Structure 1
Amino acid sequence: MKKLVFSAMCLLFFSLPGARAESAPAYKTWNEITAEMTRILDSSYELYLLGDVESGKQAVNRAYFEFYEKLGVERAVLSYISGKRAATVEYQFAEVKRLMTESASGQEVRASLNTLARMLKEDADQLDGKKETPWGVFVASLLILLREGIEAILVVAAIAAYLIRSGNKRLTGLVYGSAVAAIVMSALLAVALQKLFSISGASQEMLEGFTMLLAVAVLFFVSNWMVSKAESIAWKKYIEDKIALAATTGSTVALAAASFLAVFREGAETILFYQALLADTREHMDMLWLGFAAACLCLVVVFAAVRFGSLHIPLRPFFIGTSILMYVMAVSFAGGGFKELQEADVVSVTPVSGIITVDILGIYPTVETLLPQAVMLVLAIVSFLFYTRRGAASEKAASE
């Protein structure tokens, strides 16, 4: 089944019709793209000065969604500069719109637009200065899949290991099947985003954001369920009462849903990133494929380490460790989900100084992303302590 998952990824990432041809940019350099973006941003300022705030914000959104995202600037910055830089630029877009919404002075809006234009120019200069090299293409391809896939593979592997440790190995097919279904759905969504529907960039961000927040709820439920079974008495009772996972519909659905959502949440965007990389790569196409294959191999190694390594861990530490991993993923997804909604203009952006961006943990320097993470962290700690103490009390009572 694991081979099926990765074969499906390889097939669907690159078999979308017209992936290379239709993704080809109309611009020859990154500076040409950012110059057009700057022109659009200048027009947004003129609209703002005329009192048309909404049209001004729409122009900013056009520069972001139709150029920064669609033409692969974001992907290039993520691959060749850093994730932190990409997040900084994204929040500068949001800062411009925030100032417009709050009816800031023209001078403030102009200064913010100048900062954004300078960032775009700096990144374009750096990207244009990078000649296409074999290892550059390899690393870009490797990082796209690793960055987007590592969290998903950890969730899927942890759930599969849990099922095996609980004596429900036959249900791992449901988890793997959910992951494959998520890949297929991601491919269909990528096609829809490019061909079938006029889905705006904001709508895509909203879909990703709400998917991640749904995943938060599912992961939190699964985490609580796992940690509640960590004590040997609780687990023995669970087995003796024959409340096998196959008969526990809610738990079975939750585990399958967690697998599906972990893969689906960034699947379509990952495919679109690869399509952009295919279009941008003029030479060294073999290194692009090699980078993709290396990323798949890395994910297989991570999967195997969690899936098979867990068999040698005592039951209680395994259940507790797995539940902690799920809690961490839930906290990470909470930050990432609200960030996507910020990009879609559904949630406001209130910057927080002194906080650095940690993309892999979903940490971003805004009140709206940090607050739900803080709430989730408190809930996770309270839930963990409640279930572990209750389990310990049950163990003590049973031994007396």
Structure 2
Amino acid sequence: MTASAQQAPTTTPVRVEKDLPVCTKGVSNPDGSTRTYQDYALCMAAEINKAIDSFGAGNYEQAVEDINEAYFGWYENALEPPSMTLPGNRKVKMEGRFTRVKLAIRNNPSDPSIPDKLDLIKTAVARDAMVLDGALPDSSPESAGKKLLTEKKKEPVDESKMNSVDFITAFTLLLREGLEALLVVTAIILYLVTSGNRKLCKAVYLGVAAAVVLSFVLAWGMQKIVGGAGAASEMIEGFTMFIAVAMLFYVSNWMLGKTSGQNWQHYIQGMVTTSVSSGAAKALVFAAFLAVIREGAELVLFYTAAFAGGGHNPLWIGLGFGAGIVVLAVIFVIFRYGGARMPVRPIFMGTSILLFIMCISFVGKGVQELKEASFILGDTNLPWMKYYFPELGIYPQAETILPQLILLVASVWIIVHHTMSNRSASRDRDTAGQKNPTATPV
């Protein structure tokens, strides 16, 4: 029996906040004033109220659509980016709540607690909005958001708090999205330099530059075609992640292969250069390009959504962006020039392992994007995971952890295989040296 055919709950939730007006999209209120985070929370709450009404009427599919509008239309665009600055992984927790309540409506609509879960989302988002506006301290409980919903009266905005939120949001977004792409590009550049293929670095840099430019084009296209946010956008981002995983896994395995057995001996005997085939060179450039354009397009969309309104301070946004650029540049210099001074073989091994780690991170994030788009159904929470790192794509959910574990096992197997091959080659060299003492040591 489908969800829509099942009997509706007999109890209707009693909501203390009634008659919240449904908002029109934009950055301004009907009176012309600039919307604050509290305004966006009230607009989102109005959509949640529509979902509760649809659910109470037994129209479950419409309830899910109303929740999607609340999330993609209001939360993801206006409130999700700055919520990353709040302690306690608020972004991840709220994403999980939206996903779980939609699954509950689809799978068990007779559950009488569903309206309460929707009310909890409204209250939690209202609390976060008040914190972002400086109307509440960070330590405030979620129940503090009820005041905004019941009184529908916004607290005054703390300008200094808003400035700090603008700075931290701009800095965090750039560091969060840029660091992954930077690590991939740096690993590839470092490999090319240490393997004597410095001439190919120019192609990688050109690929990165092209990716930066095309990031704006891709973001513009996503904005025009799918609205920049929504299930379609999440699906595009998710599948792009999986393409990046395939490319990085191939590149990291190829790099690691250069450190094992006869491949390493050929490299050593050639003194400083091991040629990179045309196909491998294209794969390296494309891997760097793909990592940058995926993160770049998402960064453009995040910045557009986070700072579209007129209530933000361009100075503090610019300072946050500039600080992020400086940090990324320092990280690049440390890895690029510090790594080049290290022994060659550990560099090859280290860059390969780093790219394997990025693959695992991208898999988790790709699955999470598809979960948000409702392409992957299910939200199996893992309560034993007390600590998780969304920045690395590690979430307390079986749907993300399982493919990551599979990829981890495959990566470890490949690394162990190459390591054993190295040891075998080393023993063969020692045996050959004992039989031929006059041979020149490697």
TM-score past 0.5 threshold: yes
Distance of 1:368 and 1:215 partners within structure 2: 19
Q: Tell me the equivalent position of 1:334.
A: 363
Q: Tell me the equivalent position of 1:73.
A: 79
Please tell me whether the aligned partners of residues 228 and 388 of structure 1 are also in contact (alpha carbons under 8 angstroms): no
Please tell me whether the aligned partners of residues 231 and 372 of structure 2 are also in contact (alpha carbons under 8 angstroms): yes
Please tell me whether the aligned partners of residues 156 and 259 of structure 1 are also in contact (alpha carbons under 8 angstroms): yes
2:161 maps to 1:170: no
State the one-letter code of the partner of 1:350: T
Distance 1:136 1:110, change over 3 A: closer
Please tell me whether the aligned partners of residues 182 and 328 of structure 2 are also in contact (alpha carbons under 8 angstroms): yes
Distance 1:82 1:175, change over 3 A: farther
Q: Tell me the equivalent position of 1:51.
A: 58
Task: Spell out, residue by residue over 1:86-116, the C-alpha distance to the aligned partner (whole angstroms, 9 max, x if none).
Answer: 0100110001100011033251211221221
Aligned residues: 375
Please tell me whether the aligned partners of residues 141 and 291 of structure 1 are also in contact (alpha carbons under 8 angstroms): yes
Distance of 2:165 and 2:63 partners within structure 1: 37
Query: Mean alpha-carbon deviation: is it higher for 45-54 or for 280-289?
Result: 280-289
State the one-letter code of the partner of 1:75: P
Please list, as runs of the form range in 1=range in 2, the aligned pairs for 1:1-400 lying within 5 A after superposition: 24-26=27-29, 28-70=35-77, 72-79=78-85, 81-82=86-87, 84-129=89-134, 131-133=158-160, 134-195=163-224, 198=227, 201-231=230-260, 233-238=262-267, 244-245=275-276, 247-249=277-279, 251-280=280-309, 282=311, 284-348=313-377, 349-355=379-385, 356-400=387-431
Structure 1 unaligned residues grouped into runs of 5+? 1-21
Higher helix share: 1
Distance of 1:360 and 1:200 partners within structure 2: 20
Distance 1:255 1:267, change over 3 A: same
Please tell me whether the aligned partners of residues 363 and 369 of structure 1 are also in contact (alpha carbons under 8 angstroms): yes
Query: Mean alpha-carbon deviation: is it higher for 185-194 or for 319-328?
Result: 185-194
Distance of 2:256 and 2:330 partners within structure 1: 26
Structure 2 unaligned residues grouped into runs of 5+? 1-24, 136-157, 432-442
Please tell me whether the aligned partners of residues 166 and 313 of structure 2 are also in contact (alpha carbons under 8 angstroms): yes
TM-score, length-scaled by structure 1: 0.87
- Deviation at 1:340? 0.5
Please tell me whether the aligned partners of residues 158 and 322 of structure 1 are also in contact (alpha carbons under 8 angstroms): yes
Q: Tell me the equivalent position of 1:5.
A: none
Please tell me whether the aligned partners of residues 232 and 316 of structure 1 are also in contact (alpha carbons under 8 angstroms): no
Distance of 1:139 and 1:113 partners within structure 2: 29
Distance 1:354 1:294, change over 3 A: same
Task: Spell out, residue by residue over 1:274-302, the C-alpha distance to the aligned partner (whole angstroms, 9 max, x if none).
Answer: 23444346464223212212211111111
Alignment RMSD (CA, Å) = 2.3
SS of match in other structure, 1:107? coil
State the one-letter code of the partner of 2:245: V
- Deviation at 1:193? 3.1
TM-score, length-scaled by structure 2: 0.79
Please tell me whether the aligned partners of residues 226 and 319 of structure 1 are also in contact (alpha carbons under 8 angstroms): yes
- Deviation at 1:272? 2.4
State the one-letter code of the partner of 1:48: F
Query: Mean alpha-carbon deviation: is it higher for 181-190 or for 85-94?
Result: 181-190
Query: Mean alpha-carbon deviation: is it higher for 371-380 or for 43-52?
Result: 43-52
- Deviation at 1:380? 0.7
Percent of pairs with identical residues: 36
Please tell me whether the aligned partners of residues 234 and 391 of structure 1 are also in contact (alpha carbons under 8 angstroms): no
Structure of greater Rg: 2
